Amino acid sequence: MAIWIDQDSKVLVQGLTGKEGSFHAGQCREYGTQIVAGVTPGKGGASQDGVPVFNTVKEAVEETGADCSMILVPPPFAADAIMEAVDGGVPLVVCITEGIPVLDMLRVTEFMKGTKSRLIGPNCPGIISPGKSKIGIMPGPIHKEGPVGCISRSGTLTYEAVGQLSSRDIGQSTCIGIGGDPIIGTGFIDALTAFNEDPETEAVVMIGEIGGSAEEEAADYIKAHFDKPVLGFIAGQTAPPGRRMGHAGAIISQGKGTAREKIEKMREGGVQVVDSPADIGSGMEMILQERV
């Protein structure tokens, strides 16, 4: 088992005919993901590397039965693309695009209320259930099938964590990059809730960073409801306040959202937080050994 995606997931790609879209769709397919359709308005009827292209998401879903969408369109069009996927009834929408205006995302989250769709991202590497399916831009080969769930606001830092796990022969059930923006679809708590119910997931790595209060809220949730061990790391312990550290959401504003606050709160919630990003793999190894 894994959460949200597996070998049966059928993926349509919004922006398939673009440079990014065609490259990453190819990489996903190479990993074993079923890429069933592409959507590029105005290019309906064409095909890209053997994948049929449609004008609208609705059409693509009707024709192919796609149940996931991967969005790789430029930022000015991304909010619209997400809403089109939701309107088309796609249950899982993964938006990779970085740089979507915040007000656009506020409207998107409002639009999604009451619908059955889940959004992962934006500004994220996507989601992978190793050995089954990959919907995103992460390097597939560093992953290994196994018992550890990963949730992270970062891209390459997640690869770092996964690399440390895999090199110790610790595999992953599902890895989710929830995204570095201030307004995102799926949060830590959503992913933790799913991991709690997934019998294959035995422990979770949770990687946060400065800015906002998502880690603090997740810590409260873990304390009250989460039954499995969690290893945590917070990036940005040395970040100066008031500066955006690359990610739009990684900013300590008005004294809030510091790494120290988050680490304290997570430790109170029972998360084993490591100070060094080099200790994620070894920390998880110890957790799993204790459980045996």
Partner 1 sequence: MKIHEYQAKQILIKHGVKVPQGQVATTAAEAGEIARDLGGKIIAVKAQIHAGGRGKGGGIKLAKSPEEAEEWAGQLLGSKLVTPQTGPEGRVVNRVLIEKGVDIDKEFYLGIVIDRSQQRPVLMASREGGVEIEEVAQRSPELILKEPVHPGVGLQAFQTRKIAFGLGLEGKAVANATRFMSALYQAFESSDASLAEINPLVLTAEGELCALDAKMTFDDSALYRHAEIMEMRDLDEEEPLEIEASHHQLNYIKLDGQVGCMVNGAGLAMATMDIIKLGGASPANFLDVGGGANVEQVKNAFRILLSDENVKAVLINIFGGIMRCDVVAEGVVQAAQDIGVDVPVVVRLAGTNVEQGREILKNSGLDFAVATDMADAARKVSDLTNTEE
Among the listed residues 118, 228, 247, 262, the single contact to partner 1 using CB under 8 A: 247
Does 91 bind partner 1 (CB under 8 A)? Our answer is: no
Count of residues in contact with partner 1, rule CB under 8 A: 62
Among the listed residues 89, 91, 163, 171, the single contact to partner 1 using CB under 8 A: 163
Q: Has 143 been annotated as catalytic?
A: no
CA atoms of 85 and 116, how far apart (whole Å): 11
Q: Provide DSSP, 161-217.
A: HHHHHHHTT--EEEEEE--SSSS-SS-HHHHHHHHHH-TT--EEEEEEESSSSHHHH
Backbone angles phi, psi at 45, to 5 degrees: 95, -20
Min dist CB 163 to partner 1, Å, is 6
Residue 50 falls in which region: left (phi positive, over 0), alpha (psi -120 to 50) or beta: left
Nearer to partner 1, 1 or 102 (CB): 102
Separation in Å, CA 204 to CA 120, 172, 181, 246: 18, 9, 22, 25
In the set 24, 143, 225, 247, the catalytic residue is 247
The secondary structure of residue 235, as a DSSP letter, is E
Among the listed residues 133, 152, 166, 174, the single contact to partner 1 using CB under 8 A: 152
Task: Point out which span in 3-11, 126-134, 154-162, 195-203 binds partner 1 (CB under 8 A).
Answer: 154-162
Nearer to partner 1, 65 or 240 (CB): 240
By CB under 8 A, what part of segment 19-78 binds partner 1? Answer: 75-76
Among the listed residues 30, 62, 102, 267, the single contact to partner 1 using CB under 8 A: 102
Per this entry, what is the length of the chain?
A: 292
Residue 123 falls in which region: left (phi positive, over 0), alpha (psi -120 to 50) or beta: left
With beta carbons less than 8 A apart as the criterion, state whether 248 and 100 touch.
no
CA atoms of 208 and 213, how far apart (whole Å): 10
Nearer to partner 1, 37 or 176 (CB): 176
Nearer to partner 1, 85 or 259 (CB): 259
Q: Which residues 6+ apart lie within 8 Å of 10 measured at CB?
A: 34, 36, 64, 65, 66, 67, 68
Each residue 107-146 as x (binds partner 1 by CB under 8 A) or -, in order, gives: x-xxx-------------x-----------xxx--x----
Nearer to partner 1, 181 or 198 (CB): 181
Residues recognised as catalytic = 247
Contacting positions for partner 1 (CB under 8 A): 75-76, 99-104, 106-107, 109-111, 125, 137-139, 142, 152-160, 163-164, 180, 182-183, 207, 209-210, 212-214, 217, 233, 235-240, 243-250, 254-255, 259, 275-279
